[in-house]
Amino acid sequence: MTKRTSPRTALLVHLAEDLKAAIEAGDLEAARVAHEAIGRLLGSTAAKNATVVDLATARARRDGSDHP
């Protein structure tokens, strides 16, 4: 079984790629925004404490069903 990448990690990868592209294109404002977003994600306490929810299971539990 392959380990799934977290949404936060996937977002960081995309932001890093976009940061690089913005710098190469000379768009310093876009680069600054991407850099700030990366910093906020990495510095967030939620990164260590974020809860991952299986939506199908949560919905089934909410609706009183045993099966997602």
Is the pLDDT confidence value at 35 over 70?
Answer: yes
Q: pLDDT > 90: what percent of the chain?
A: 47
DSSP H or E run through 1 = none
Q: Which residue has the higher pLDDT, 18 or 63?
A: 18
Total domain count, the chain: 1
Does residue 1 sit within a domain? no
State pTM to two decimals: 0.60
**Cβ contacts of 21-28, under 8 Å, gap ≥ 24:** none
Domain hosting residue 54, numbered range: 7-63
State how far the alpha carbon of 11 is from the alpha carbons of 14, 27, 48, 57, in Å: 5, 20, 16, 24
Does residue 2 sit within a domain? no
67 falls in which pLDDT band (50, 70, 90)? low
Does residue 68 sit within a domain? no
42-61 exposure pattern, b = at least 16 Cβ within 10 A, e = fewer: eeeeeeeeeeeeeeeeeeee
